[in-house]
């Protein structure tokens, strides 16, 4: 059988770091049936029942058995605009400032192909979501890392970016609440980003996937709440985390009209939008009373508290995340993020994600998901404590 070579674009794709982690987990699971997986990012709760019922009802609508409009149904875009007005007091034109996505992941990859040419420069947070890299690689562009350091609350320091880099940059990814660090944005961060973007003709792409998940009574800030935001950028949000709809694949690009047009133009050639019944259920979710979201955030906050308390009990000096459903914990002395993750997997049968998988500045940390119940999180910390890798235990 002939073997046909892959395109140059596919050859440029970065190695999938977490595929190797999955292989390790599978091997351990073959030997043990008590593995605790805290390394994944897949919501563990079901989609709220009223949303599911709306989909069942919509399935009987013969309109949805036909091709949907290429850019999505207008009622879904209107629901997005209503959601932004209700949640953030932001005015959105549903006819020009909203694009429907098959999940935010799709948009985060597509946008590089929409805005970049070969050898263009993109400002990318490090550590950050690896699919940013994939879209940039497919476009043949170059990344300039923006280190996210604990001493700066895991916010980028724009002052260290040289003028020539700002001049070369076409757009910048931001992501708050942040994956993997759990940090949240400040108004000052977005204000400075907008000023820099306006000065240097840089498009801001704010990944707002975890926008609903903030702790300690703090509602995460939408980039679009800031003056001038739509002039220089867009925000991408998804229903995956907010409503436990990860498998439904519904997301949006909201903001700058020219970027929305570019996304929709590309998708006209790739897709015929998502199934109409899912669009109706998504609109229903966005217009609901959000009680399910309040309960979900409360659940994650309780899990966060249980995890942090259990970690501190075994002597692990950690900082609680401010948002998202991830915790970002430092590895003990003498370990890299990968060797520590391997130790936990092999000796404690606990899966965590090595920080280096999110970029070179993720070294020294592991990401832990709040996607198991409190008792499981406590047990995981107890198992890790038995390894006695932390020198100072709480008496």
The pLDDT tens digits for 208-234 are 999 999 999 999 999 999 999 999 999
Q: Give the Cβ contact number of residue 61 at 10 Å.
A: 11
Please give the pLDDT value at position 241. Answer: 96
pLDDT tier at 25, thresholds 50, 70, 90: confident
**What's phi and psi for 98, nearest 5 deg?**
-140, 130
The domains of the chain, with CATH numbers, are 8-46+292-385 (3.90.1150.10), 49-287 (3.40.640.10)
pLDDT tier at 392, thresholds 50, 70, 90: low
Residue found by looking up tokens 């009373």 in the block: 289
CB contact at 8 A, 368 and 321: no
Q: Give the Cβ contact number of residue 198 at 10 Å.
A: 14
Please give the pLDDT value at position 29. Answer: 78
CB contact at 8 A, 222 and 253: no
Please give the pLDDT value at position 394. Answer: 43
pLDDT digits (tens, 9 = 90+) for 116-157: 999 999 999 999 999 999 999 999 999 999 999 999 999 999
Mean pLDDT, the chain, rounded, equals 94
Q: With pLDDT > 90 as the criterion, what percentage of the chain qualifies?
A: 87
pLDDT digits (tens, 9 = 90+) for 159-189: 999 999 999 999 999 999 999 999 999 999 9
Q: What is the 3-state secondary structure (H, E, C) of 327-391?
A: EEEECCCCCCHHHHHHHHHHHHCEECEEHHHHCHHHCCEEEEECCCCHHHHHHHHHHHHCCCCCC
Assign 14 to helix, strand or coil: coil
Assign 292 to helix, strand or coil: helix
Structure tokens at 359: 């970029």
């Amino acid at each position: 059988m002939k073997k046909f070579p892959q395109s140059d674009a596919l050859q440029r794709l970065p190695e999938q770091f977490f595929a190797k982690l999955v292989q390790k987990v599978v091997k351990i699971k073959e030997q043990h049936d008590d593995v605790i997986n805290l390394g994944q990012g897949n919501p563990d709760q079901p989609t709220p029942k009223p949303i599911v019922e709306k989909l069942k009802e919509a399935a009987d609508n013969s309109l949805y058995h036909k091709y949907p409009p290429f850019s999505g149904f207008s009622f879904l875009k209107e629901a997005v605009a209503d959601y932004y007005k209700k949640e953030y007091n932001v005015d959105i034109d549903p006819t020009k400032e909203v694009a429907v996505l098959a999940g935010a992941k799709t948009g985060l990859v597509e946008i590089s192909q929409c805005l970049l040419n070969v050898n263009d420069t993109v400002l990318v947070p490090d550590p950050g979501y690896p699919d940013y890299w994939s879209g940039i690689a497919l476009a043949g562009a170059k990344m300039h890392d923006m280190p996210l350091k604990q001493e700066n609350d895991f916010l980028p320091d724009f002052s260290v970016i040289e003028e020539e880099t700002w001049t070369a940059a076409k757009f910048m990814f931001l992501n708050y609440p942040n994956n993997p660090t759990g940090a949240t944005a400040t108004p000052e961060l977005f204000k400075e980003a907008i000023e820099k973007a306006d000065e240097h003709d840089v498009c801001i792409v704010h990944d707002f996937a975890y926008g609903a998940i903030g702790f300690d009574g703090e509602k995460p800030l939408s980039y679009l709440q800031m003056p001038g935001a739509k002039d220089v950028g867009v925000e991408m949000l998804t229903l995956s985390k907010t409503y436990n709809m990860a498998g439904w694949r519904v997301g949006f690009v909201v903001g700058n009209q020219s970027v929305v047009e570019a996304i929709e133009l590309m998708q006209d050639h790739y897709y015929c939008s998502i199934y109409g019944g899912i669009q109706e259920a998504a609109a229903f979710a966005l217009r609901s009373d959000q009680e399910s979201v309040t309960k979900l955030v409360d659940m994650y906050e309780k899990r966060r508290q249980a995890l942090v308390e259990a970690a501190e009990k075994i002597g692990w000096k950690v900082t609680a995340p401010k948002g998202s459903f991830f915790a970002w914990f430092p590895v003990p002395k003498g370990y890299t993020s990968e060797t520590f993750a391997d130790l936990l997997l092999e000796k404690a049968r606990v899966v965590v994600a090595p920080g280096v998988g999110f970029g070179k500045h993720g070294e020294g940390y592991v990401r832990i998901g709040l996607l198991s119940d409190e008792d499981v999180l406590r047990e995981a910390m107890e198992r890790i404590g038995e390894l006695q890798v932390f020198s100072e235990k709480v008496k």
